[in-house]
Amino acid sequence: RSIEGFSKILLDEYSQHLDEECRHYLSRIRCNTVRMSALIEDILDLSRAGRIELQKKPVHLKEIVKNVFNDFKDEIEIGSIAVSTGDIPVANCDSSLMQVVFSNLISNAIKFTKDKESPEIAAGFDNEKNAIFVKDNGIGFDMQYHNKVFGVFQRLHLPEEYEGTGIGLAIVKRIIERHHGKVWAESEPGKGAAFFIKIPLGG
């Protein structure tokens, strides 16, 4: 963080005294330190998700989803993303960890719909699958990589194309498995992705 802070000061306050090459290298230093900080935070989150004591109680997941959408309201407005939240049953779970789950799934959906002309993200409950879902109409992925998307440091795209550390979905998987649940994805290139979650429902 110190490196990132000092490089930002140099760029903000002394940029006019630096030549173009120096500014370029400082920008690279700052970008890489920001990326490294995000990576460290995600690794810590992954570790915490595996060892924190669960505080289970009946949770209204629809409210959590709506709160997460509100947390990302700036990104949603900038991207002109249409969002919707259907009915989701009450679940017996840890509300803080489920907030992390939906934050990761929705931030992913925002990221991968950014190039769509009419981006859409929906959350709700699929009665046939008996599972909660977060769906988008973004770039999608080939199902041959289905298992890879939940692996640590596994990415299907270059960091230059889509930002991220490659840990978010691994955190989701770990949290859901700690709830004795299941998470999986269904997708098709160019037609979006749907992530499904099964955890114990009811109060």
* ∠ Cα 196 199 203 (to 5°): 135
**Looking at the domain assignment, is residue 124 inside a domain?**
yes
Model confidence at 126, pLDDT cuts 50, 70, 90, reads very high
**Looking at the domain assignment, is residue 179 inside a domain?**
yes
Is the pLDDT at 152 greater than 60? The verdict is no
- How many angstroms separate the Cα of 195 from the Cα of each of 52, 134, 157? 24, 5, 18
Distance CA 46, CA 100 (A): 11
**64, 142: one domain:** yes
What confidence tens digit (pLDDT) does each residue in 78-123 have?
999 999 999 999 999 988 889 989 999 999 899 888 878 899 999 9
**Looking at the domain assignment, is residue 24 inside a domain?**
yes
Model confidence at 162, pLDDT cuts 50, 70, 90, reads very low
pLDDT at 202: 78
Of all residues in the chain, the percent with pLDDT exceeding 70 is: 71
**43, 58: one domain:** no
Segments forming the whole domain that contains residue 39: 2-48
Report strand pairing: 90-94 vs 56-60.
antiparallel
**Looking at the domain assignment, is residue 36 inside a domain?**
yes
Question: How many other CB atoms are there within 10 angstroms of residue 103's CB atom?
Answer: 18
DSSP state letters, 170-182: HHHHHHHHHTT-E
**40, 63: one domain:** no
**26, 85: one domain:** no
- Determine which of 84-93, 145-154, 155-164 has the lowest per-residue pLDDT on average: 155-164
**25, 111: one domain:** no
**Looking at the domain assignment, is residue 203 inside a domain?**
no
Residue ending a domain, choose from 31, 48, 65: 48
Distance CA 56, CA 97 (A): 10
Question: How many other CB atoms are there within 10 angstroms of residue 102's CB atom?
Answer: 22
**Looking at the domain assignment, is residue 63 inside a domain?**
yes
**42, 80: one domain:** no
The residue ranking higher by pLDDT, 162 or 46, is 46
Give the predicted TM-score (pTM) of the model.
0.72
**172, 106: one domain:** yes
**89, 162: one domain:** yes
Based on the structure, what is the number of domains in the chain? 2
Q: Collect all residues with Cβ–Cβ distance below 8 Å to 21 and sequence separation of at least 6.
A: none
**42, 81: one domain:** no
**109, 181: one domain:** yes
**101, 70: one domain:** yes
**74, 104: one domain:** yes
